[in-house]
Structure 1
């Protein structure tokens, strides 16, 4: 609701807005649903906001949540652009007569992956860590022989496809392959032609996520994914 204060500090309703959450919006964090409501209002009421100073009253701080993120991508980047255009927007946590509640912002998903290439079979292992610290381990057996780097890329691609299918939007991705990590980050050039299609497909999938971090970890920190990949490769021997 957009309201105007009249005499005796009473409010007169000017405009009502509402919409239904659809698709991936149903899986947004509580704070992101508040951000979505604010962005919807900014778009629909932009003419009011351009002509007047608007005080946003909310039980959480959507503006701070959007602008304080170290890396903006996907919907967060779009929301930040909208906020910059609404330059006179202010936020207040003053809610007379109501108790302020705090929205817990859950950490992003984590994904650890590893690929193992052998002469007789290839295996992939991936471990998802949910925001509630639940482990979700998976193994894949590849029937086509490939190099270690190709196996790493195939593991990453399969893992990203799984993450997208279950509705993951924000994720920290870790691997012990320095080459693959730095190629994905754009710090290394992809020189081998057989890796170029894998690299391009990986970037396509990453663009479907909203907020990602890709990092290198030593093999000692990736033991579970490494063990799963070796297990899958061993199982391939009897396939």
Structure 2
């Protein structure tokens, strides 16, 4: 097979390779040196790098590994990897001799906008495209995913699910995929797969993948708290959500006993959440709220100009000093579904006169002010905690 002499012959060769791409490991990476010749306004110059890549493809086709057919009843093994400009996947299955046999290769060159993804997001993208392309395998077999990071766990642990994360989450949860950390090589097919996907020496190691091989760990705060307050003409309420290190949710719906401004409700939501956290013994926490005013006042970016907010500001500042480590973060409501959920939950609990609801547990909370001169302005709040039913 002679090398292409012009753009038309290169396009023909690319089309032929695309037709047999499932039999070629890392076809996207192998074609990378001459892919730029396919772009508009680029003169066709077949240099040494293009020729070496072309010869490498020819050598691989001559010595290619024969792919097998899946055996019904046995689970499949999916290997995924991500690099700077491409993502790849390999599906294998163990035969009767407990040796892994390659079934399908997949690779994809990243577009310009996806080159900006973080390394862990590229791994998620690799799994997403593997599921889309090999959907028939995922529907018929259970899968064991072998990778340096768990894409499904990463997506589910995000506080803010923007568009692509939400799409990935929906797709990942449709199939039975068991994650297995990539710690050691097993089988010649996997060894060949990794050899075909070398990492560039210029690509920096990312600590999106914590393991003992690179001696890096990801430090996460133990707990996360989200708060929100809402008011309407006939009542006010707040909601608080705690997320434990194991990603379990603790939700609290709180009805305020007195009408107040929306900013006062936001402050009371934060104060109640901080009090709960301290009583639970939480010393390190990230706090998220959708009130830019409250967050910036506590960060001393904004001044507290309204007198009715001063007691709440002082008491919240006092409670924050009780933590070993706490960070305050503002989340725009349009970007955070959790904040919207809290607001709706809080508003719903502000019952109109004559309305009733079942509340299993009831306590009373009093918000004292740090300065005794503000004690008369303290608010009494009734808290209703709804326990989830099995």
TM-score (norm 2): 0.34
Higher relative contact order (CA 8 A, sep 6+): 1
| Pick aligned residue for 1:206 from 305, 315, 320 | 320
Contact 1:124–1:230 (CA<8 Å) still a contact in 2? no
**Which residue number corresponds to residue 245 of structure 2?**
131
Distance 1:236 1:110, change over 3 A: same
CA distance in 1 between counterparts of 2:315 and 2:344 reads 24
Q: Summarize the alignment of residues 216-231 of structure 1 with structure 2, pairs less than 5 Å apart.
A: 216-231=330-345
Contact 1:125–1:228 (CA<8 Å) still a contact in 2? yes
**Which residue number corresponds to residue 61 of structure 1?**
none
CA distance in 2 between counterparts of 1:206 and 1:232 reads 23
SS in 2 for 1:157: helix
Contact 2:230–2:237 (CA<8 Å) still a contact in 1? yes
1:228 deviates by 3.3
CA distance in 2 between counterparts of 1:105 and 1:228 reads 27
Report the more deviating stretch, 130-139 or 228-237.
Answer: 228-237
**Which residue number corresponds to residue 142 of structure 1?**
256
Give deviations 1:41-99, integer Å, cap 9, x for gaps: xxxxxxxxxxxxxxxxxxxxxxxxxxxxxxxxxxxxxxxxxxxxxxxxxxxxxxxxxxx
CA distance in 1 between counterparts of 2:340 and 2:279 reads 24
CA distance in 2 between counterparts of 1:160 and 1:173 reads 9
TM-score (norm 1): 0.54
Q: What runs of 5+ residues in structure 1 fail to find an aligned partner? A: 1-101
Q: Summarize the alignment of residues 37-48 of structure 1 with structure 2, pairs less than 5 Å apart.
A: none
**Which residue number corresponds to residue 192 of structure 1?**
306
Name the one with the larger helix percent.
1
CA distance in 2 between counterparts of 1:167 and 1:109 reads 11
SS in 1 for 2:329: strand
**Which residue number corresponds to residue 32 of structure 1?**
none
CA distance in 2 between counterparts of 1:190 and 1:232 reads 24
**Which residue number corresponds to residue 152 of structure 1?**
266
**Which residue number corresponds to residue 166 of structure 1?**
280
Contact 1:115–1:152 (CA<8 Å) still a contact in 2? yes
CA distance in 1 between counterparts of 2:276 and 2:330 reads 21
Contact 1:140–1:229 (CA<8 Å) still a contact in 2? no
**Which residue number corresponds to residue 97 of structure 1?**
none
Contact 2:236–2:258 (CA<8 Å) still a contact in 1? yes
CA distance in 1 between counterparts of 2:305 and 2:279 reads 31
Whether 2:233 is the aligned partner of 1:119: answer: yes
SS in 1 for 2:328: strand
- CA RMSD of the aligned region, Å? 2.1
Q: Summarize the alignment of residues 171-186 of structure 1 with structure 2, pairs less than 5 Å apart.
A: 171-186=285-300
State the number of aligned residues: 139
Give deviations 1:13-45, integer Å, cap 9, x for gaps: xxxxxxxxxxxxxxxxxxxxxxxxxxxxxxxxx
Give deviations 1:142-179, integer Å, cap 9, x for gaps: 12000000000000000000000000000111111000
SS in 1 for 2:349: helix
Q: Summarize the alignment of residues 228-239 of structure 1 with structure 2, pairs less than 5 Å apart.
A: 228-237=342-351, 238=355
SS in 2 for 1:236: coil
CA distance in 2 between counterparts of 1:143 and 1:195 reads 17
